[in-house]
């Protein structure tokens, strides 16, 4: 059976062995391609089957994926699936016919010689006579639909099985998230979740940003709201459009025009579904980019453009560079100062423009009822918080860690890595998994070989996350010195701050004058402290040289 394990970039929290566990849910879908015969893809291999569930936080003893659910037969006591067949998805593009003369649809292999079969009994599909099938066949470029001897008037013909095409056909006036994700409901149904957005380019006094369309064209917008959630059943294709933001005037206008399309406004999404919602990365990317400049809302500060941020950078290969690439937003468990328990959040760390120290991070999360929450956390300017590129440099300079990393770089493999910054209370934990990839095996999943962790002024390495954390809290940890601004950098910032103070004095803006004075005083204090530290260091070095010469 031709199937695809579709790994979606979405995590979910599911109850595994009595604990909330972060997992990946990967649907098994039928691949639509030209290698399959007409009969094969129309009557026999009509649907995907089940999901693969893997742990998002742990691996097997060898560093491979840890499977929580992978078999076709449902033996899991934690995640029960009552209807595993997937007739509607992201890869299902072929027209199919069920309840035909053949009346056999392939499910999954039982052994090397026997298979399990099924007959579709869902609500999807339409019964058509010859002439209706002929019209449909001409329209779809599939004339065999009319003349096939397998299809009878009792057969169901199912079209529009791609879920994105399906919802766009019903409601073409919304923008749809390009990365729908599947959840397993408490009653065992496989349901696709699609975030939908209202947009406009005519909202007054708002920043224009670009949306890249599926055909590669650019759509300019200055207004976007995630006002709709669409739930699509993977078995029967049933679509439910829920309005999740009634304060959005655009979606409420659509509701008045098409009241029967949307679910009753008094009917909320069942919590058995909404508790698995995640903050949409599509929306988050736009918000995170805008916040680089607009985290500061004072007009004068925006006009000066002297408080611009960058996305923190990382090196994804073994060889570090001074430039790096922007860290992409990632889902992870976080525990912030204003939360009593850990939550699943979408995270992105920031640095001040052209600096390396992390100065803020953005968290997008969803409550149990599906309500979205976006929060920005800032560090005090004088706090020296380790930057992600700085961590890579420090790792390379440490002989012990470099030796361990070199031991896994063998012929025929390459090393890949990515860094995750995990907010925990008022601190940050840096986690950098190191993967070994076989260069000649395209289908081989990366193997986790080492994990590097850092927090505060300590860094450690281990074979897995648990071992690395234990080492971080032991004498195995390596002390690191976090780089701060140089004297020259601070002098440059003091000059700029003084110029800003002159401008605010001229405009008689007392609130801004006070802020500029505070900033100037903070920078001067930092400069004095740095100069004192450098003097002390120079004195220690001189004393060491004197003692050495005496000996």
Could you state, in order of their start, the residue ranges of all structural domains in the chain?
A: 3-159, 166-275, 284-479, 487-550
C-alpha separations of 126 from 136, 158, 234, 404, 410 in Å: 11, 7, 17, 62, 57
Q: Which long-range contacts (CB under 8 A, 24 or more apart) does 302-311 make?
A: 304/500, 304/503, 306/496, 306/500, 307/352, 308/352, 308/353, 309/350, 309/351, 309/352, 309/353, 309/359, 309/360, 310/350, 310/351, 310/352, 310/353, 310/354, 310/355, 311/348, 311/349, 311/350, 311/351
C-alpha separations of 265 from 25, 192, 228, 246, 326 in Å: 30, 21, 12, 9, 40
Q: E-assigned strands of 31-164?
A: 48-49, 51-59, 65-69, 85-86, 96-98, 105-109, 115-118, 156-158
* In the chain, % of residues over pLDDT 70: 91
Instruction: End-to-end CA distance of the chain: give it in Å, rounded.
Output: 79
Give the separation between CA 133 and CA 95, rounded to whole angstroms. 12
Of 41-50, 198-207, 493-502, the range with the lowest mean pLDDT is: 493-502
Give the separation between CA 396 and CA 420, rounded to whole angstroms. 18
Tell me the pLDDT tens digit for each residue of 258-311: 999 999 988 889 988 999 999 999 999 999 999 998 887 777 667 777 788 999
The residues that bridge with 349 in the sheet, in sequence order, are 361
Helix (H) or strand (E) segment spanning residue 253: helix 249-257
C-alpha separations of 86 from 5, 95, 122, 288 in Å: 13, 14, 11, 34
pLDDT interval class at 512 (50, 70, 90): confident
Which residues have CB under 8 Å from 213's CB, separation 6+? 219
Nearest partner of 80 among 110, 119, 51, 116, judged by Cα: 51
Question: pLDDT at residue 9 above 50?
Answer: no
> Mutual orientation of helices 399-406 and 388-397 as an angle, nearest 10°?
90
Average pLDDT over residues 128-147: 80
The residues that bridge with 330 in the sheet, in sequence order, are 347
Q: Identify the pLDDT of residue 58.
A: 87
Give the separation between CA 547 and CA 551, rounded to whole angstroms. 6
The count of other CB atoms within 10 Å of the CB of residue 83 is 16
Average pLDDT over residues 406-414: 83
Q: What is the pTM of this model?
A: 0.85
Question: pLDDT at residue 329 above 50?
Answer: yes
The residues that bridge with 448 in the sheet, in sequence order, are 435
Quick one: DSSP state of residue 44?
I
pLDDT interval class at 393 (50, 70, 90): confident
Q: Identify the pLDDT of residue 551.
A: 54
Q: Identify the pLDDT of residue 260.
A: 94
**Mean of pLDDT over the chain:** 85
> Are 326 and 313 in contact, with CB atoms under 8 Å apart?
yes
C-alpha separations of 199 from 209, 223, 487, 514 in Å: 11, 5, 47, 39
pLDDT interval class at 64 (50, 70, 90): confident
Question: pLDDT at residue 125 above 60?
Answer: yes
Q: Identify the pLDDT of residue 318.
A: 57
Of 95-104, 174-183, 192-201, 541-550, the range with the lowest mean pLDDT is: 541-550
Question: pLDDT at residue 457 above 80?
Answer: yes
pLDDT interval class at 177 (50, 70, 90): very high
Nearest partner of 493 among 513, 516, 475, judged by Cα: 516
Which residues have CB under 8 Å from 110's CB, separation 6+? 116
List the structure tokens of 339. 């939360």
Question: pLDDT at residue 225 above 90?
Answer: yes
């Amino acid at each position: 059976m031709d199937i695809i394990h579709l790994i979606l970039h979405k995590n979910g929290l599911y109850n595994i062995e009595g604990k909330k566990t972060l997992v990946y849910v990967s649907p098994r879908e039928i691949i639509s391609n030209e290698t399959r015969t007409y009969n094969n893809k129309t009557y026999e291999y009509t649907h995907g089957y089940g999901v693969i569930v893997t742990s998002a936080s742990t691996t097997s003893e060898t560093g491979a994926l840890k499977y929580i659910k992978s078999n076709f037969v449902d033996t899991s006591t934690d995640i029960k699936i009552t209807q595993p067949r997937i007739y509607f998805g992201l890869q299902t593009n072929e027209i199919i016919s069920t309840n035909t003369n053949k009346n056999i649809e392939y499910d999954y292999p039982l052994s090397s010689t026997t298979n399990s079969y099924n007959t579709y009994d869902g609500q999807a599909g339409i019964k058509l006579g010859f002439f209706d099938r002929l019209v449909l066949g001409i329209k779809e470029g599939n004339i065999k639909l009319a003349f096939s001897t397998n299809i009878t008037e009792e057969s169901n013909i199912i079209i529009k099985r791609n879920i994105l095409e399906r919802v766009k056909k019903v409601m073409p006036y919304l923008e749809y998230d390009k990365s729908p994700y599947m959840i397993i409901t408490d009653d065992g149904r496989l349901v696709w979740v699609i975030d939908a957005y209202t947009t406009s380019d005519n909202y007054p006094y708002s920043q224009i940003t670009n949306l890249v369309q599926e055909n590669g064209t650019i759509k300019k917008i200055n207004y976007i709201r995630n006002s709709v959630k669409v739930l699509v059943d993977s078995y029967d294709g049933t679509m439910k459009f829920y309005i999740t933001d009634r304060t959005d005037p655009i979606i409420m206008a659509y509701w008045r025009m098409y009241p029967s399309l949307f679910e009753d406004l008094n009917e909320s999404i069942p919590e058995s579904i909404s508790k698995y919602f995640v903050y949409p990365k599509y929306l988050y990317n736009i918000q995170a980019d805008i916040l680089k400049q607009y985290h500061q809302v004072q007009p004068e500060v925006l006009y000066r453009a002297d408080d611009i941020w960058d996305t923190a950078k990382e090196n994804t290969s073994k060889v570090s560079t001074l430039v790096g690439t922007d860290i992409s937003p990632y889902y992870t468990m976080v525990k912030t100062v204003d939360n009593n328990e850990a939550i699943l959040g979408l995270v992105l760390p920031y640095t001040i423009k052209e600096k390396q120290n992390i100065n803020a991070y953005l968290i997008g999360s969803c409550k149990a009822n599906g309500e979205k929450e976006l929060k920005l956390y800032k560090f005090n300017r004088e706090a020296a918080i380790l930057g992600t590129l700085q961590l890579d440099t420090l790792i390379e300079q440490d002989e012990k860690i470099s030796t361990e990393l070199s031991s896994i770089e063998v012929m025929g493999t390459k090393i890949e890595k990515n860094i995750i910054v995990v907010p925990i209370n008022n601190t940050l934990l840096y986690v950098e998994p190191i993967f070994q990839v076989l260069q000649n095996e395209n289908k081989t999943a990366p193997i986790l070989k080492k994990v590097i962790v850092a927090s505060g002024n300590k860094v450690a390495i281990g074979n897995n996350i648990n071992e690395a954390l234990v080492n971080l809290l032991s004498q195995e940890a390596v002390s690191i010195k976090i780089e701060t601004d140089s004297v020259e950098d601070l002098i440059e910032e003091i000059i700029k701050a003084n110029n800003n103070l002159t401008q605010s004095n001229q405009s008689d803006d007392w609130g801004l004058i006070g802020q500029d004075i505070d900033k100037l005083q903070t920078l001067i204090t930092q400069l004095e402290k740095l100069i004192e530290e450098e003097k002390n260091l120079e004195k220690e070095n001189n004393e060491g040289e004197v003692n050495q010469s005496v000996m």
